[in-house]
């Protein structure tokens, strides 16, 4: 069971999330009382946990392994039509079932102007529940279904949330399906634990579900890679043209600090020009700081350094484009690093 302090904090979190949007609604706007069930996959619990206004409910339900078995046998039939179908032992089935347990966040009452509003607010709350369970139980569950019940009309509406494909949708040699490229990169990854670590960080960033958090993850890869260059912290930071970069006070910048060494890395990798790359590095750094220190890109205004705060404002206005460019640059830096191994 949760400790009393955790229970109080989770109760308070529900109140804050449920009330914040209600207070924004017009007083004369009609609201409906909904009950919302948010289904979680990958959360194993044995005890029902009751809180003020909601509960977290364990179930004996698991996402079965039949689909996996069916996929295996379908492929085998395609490749070897005379092969006997494979079967999973009961022990294998049990292990697969235990890896996909189902739990439910049951929010008893949500006053909202629409079922979509009730759904979205409870999804936000369930995400916080998942983060708390991750902290306390090392789980990595996801939301896979939501049911919203109109308590007065006794009507149910449901939405499924299958895990989206997060890779490149294009196909062919130009989209990462080149045998020669694959052989080159897998050799670099498998032969060096550091390369494996960096590409592992990249995979985590790609799989990250929250775009704001991706700024922290992608920046970490750039900063670790830059740190490996062992730039001299006493050396003046130079731009793409070999000119010394000065700070806002007119003093030469040094090759120390996350922003400076990441710029130096991008410069040495031939990314863009001085103006573009310096601006991009500052934007990514500012958004990384906003998320890393205050939890969200939209908290850029809390950054203490005026210069960083201004870069954060600019970046937040076009965060989607900034993130796409950051991901592309990180991928380019990694592939160039791996290419030099072999």
Question: Per-residue pLDDT averaged across 245-250, rounded?
Answer: 90
Q: Are residue 281 and residue 237 in the same domain, yes or no?
A: yes
Q: State which of 110, 139, 160 marks the end of a domain.
A: 160
Q: Are residue 178 and residue 205 in the same domain, yes or no?
A: yes
Q: Residue 294 in contact with residue 333, Cβ under 8 Å?
A: no
pLDDT in tens, 303-341: 999 999 999 999 999 999 999 999 999 999 998 998 886
Model confidence at 28, pLDDT cuts 50, 70, 90, reads very low
Would you tell me the crossing angle of helices 115-137 and 4-24 to the nearest 10 degrees?
Answer: 160
Region of poorest pLDDT, from 173-187, 198-212, 263-277, 298-312:
173-187
Assigned domain for 234 exists: yes
Model confidence at 2, pLDDT cuts 50, 70, 90, reads very low
Q: Are residue 219 and residue 145 in the same domain, yes or no?
A: no
10, pLDDT greater than 70: no
Q: Are residue 191 and residue 254 in the same domain, yes or no?
A: yes
Q: Are residue 180 and residue 152 in the same domain, yes or no?
A: no
Q: State which of 160, 189, 204 marks the end of a domain.
A: 160
Assigned domain for 69 exists: no
Q: Residue 286 in contact with residue 311, Cβ under 8 Å?
A: yes
Q: Are residue 183 and residue 331 in the same domain, yes or no?
A: yes
Question: Per-residue pLDDT averaged across 266-286, rounded?
Answer: 96
Given strand 32-41, what is the order of strands in its sheet? 49-51, 54-62, 101-112, 32-41, 142-150, 155-160
| Full domain range(s) for residue 8 | 4-63+100-160
What separation in angstroms does the CA of 115 have from each of 8, 16, 24, 118, 322? 27, 19, 17, 5, 33
Q: Are residue 106 and residue 191 in the same domain, yes or no?
A: no
Q: What is the DSSP letter of 114?
A: S
Assigned domain for 165 exists: no
Q: Are residue 134 and residue 221 in the same domain, yes or no?
A: no
Model confidence at 13, pLDDT cuts 50, 70, 90, reads low
Q: Are residue 122 and residue 262 in the same domain, yes or no?
A: no
Distance of CA 269 to the CA centre of its chain: 27
Assigned domain for 41 exists: yes
Question: According to the per-residue pLDDT averaged within each range, which of 45-49, 179-183, 211-215 is highest?
Answer: 211-215
Assigned domain for 30 exists: yes
Question: What are the residues whose beta carbons fall under 8 Å from the beta carbon of 278, sequence distance 6 or more?
Answer: 239, 245, 263
**In terms of DSSP H, where are the helices of the chain?**
4-24, 66-79, 90-98, 115-137, 179-191, 193-207, 211-227, 258-268, 274-294, 306-317, 319-339
Q: Are residue 110 and residue 219 in the same domain, yes or no?
A: no
pLDDT in tens, 55-83: 998 887 777 655 666 766 776 676 665 55
Model confidence at 209, pLDDT cuts 50, 70, 90, reads confident
What separation in angstroms does the CA of 303 have from each of 101, 280, 335? 41, 18, 33
Assigned domain for 262 exists: yes
User: pLDDT exceeding 90 applies to what percent of the chain?
Assistant: 49
232, pLDDT greater than 70: yes
Q: Are residue 309 and residue 215 in the same domain, yes or no?
A: yes
Q: What is the pLDDT of residue 322?
A: 96
Q: Are residue 51 and residue 191 in the same domain, yes or no?
A: no
Assigned domain for 260 exists: yes
Assigned domain for 86 exists: no
pLDDT in tens, 138-174: 777 888 889 999 999 888 998 987 766 666 666 666 6
Q: What is the DSSP letter of 252?
A: B
How many independent structural domains does the chain possess? 2
Q: Which of 302, 326, 324, 321 is nearest to 313 (CA)?
A: 302
Q: What is the pLDDT of residue 245?
A: 95
């Amino acid at each position: 069971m949760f400790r009393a302090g955790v229970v109080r904090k989770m109760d308070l979190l529900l109140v804050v999330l449920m009330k914040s949007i209600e207070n924004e609604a017009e007083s004369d706007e009609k609201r409906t009382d909904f009950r919302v069930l948010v289904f979680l996959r990958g959360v194993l619990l044995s005890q029902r946990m009751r809180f003020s206004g909601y509960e977290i409910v364990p179930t004996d339900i698991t996402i079965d392994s039949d689909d996996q078995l069916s996929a295996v046998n379908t492929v085998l039939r395609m490749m070897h039509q005379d092969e006997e179908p494979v079967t999973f032992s009961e022990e294998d089935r049990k292990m697969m079932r235990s890896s996909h347990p189902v739990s439910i966040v049951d929010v008893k009452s949500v006053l909202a102007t629409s079922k979509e509003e009730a759904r979205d607010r409870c999804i936000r709350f369930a995400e916080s529940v998942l983060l708390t369970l991750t902290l306390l139980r090392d789980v990595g569950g996801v939301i896979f279904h939501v049911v919203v019940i109109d308590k007065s009309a006794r009507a149910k509406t449901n939405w499924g949330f299958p895990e989206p494909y997060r890779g490149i949708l294009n196909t062919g040699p130009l989209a990462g399906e080149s045998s020669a490229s694959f052989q080159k990169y897998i050799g670099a990854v498998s032969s060096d634990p550091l390369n494996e670590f960096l590409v592992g960080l990249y995979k985590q960033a790609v799989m990250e579900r929250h775009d704001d958090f991706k700024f922290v993850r992608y920046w970490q890869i750039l900063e670790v890679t830059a740190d490996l260059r062992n730039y001299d912290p006493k050396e003046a930071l130079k731009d793409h043209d070999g000119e010394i970069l000065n700070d806002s006070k007119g003093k030469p910048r040094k090759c120390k600090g996350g922003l400076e060494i990441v710029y130096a890395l991008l410069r040495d990798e031939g990314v863009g020009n001085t103006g573009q790359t310096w601006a991009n590095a500052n934007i990514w750094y500012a958004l990384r700081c906003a998320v890393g220190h205050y939890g969200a890109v939209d908290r850029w205004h809390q950054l203490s350094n005026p210069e960083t705060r201004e870069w954060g404002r600019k970046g937040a206005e076009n965060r989607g484009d900034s993130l796409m460019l950051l991901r592309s640059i990180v991928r380019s830096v990694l592939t160039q690093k791996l290419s030099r191994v072999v």
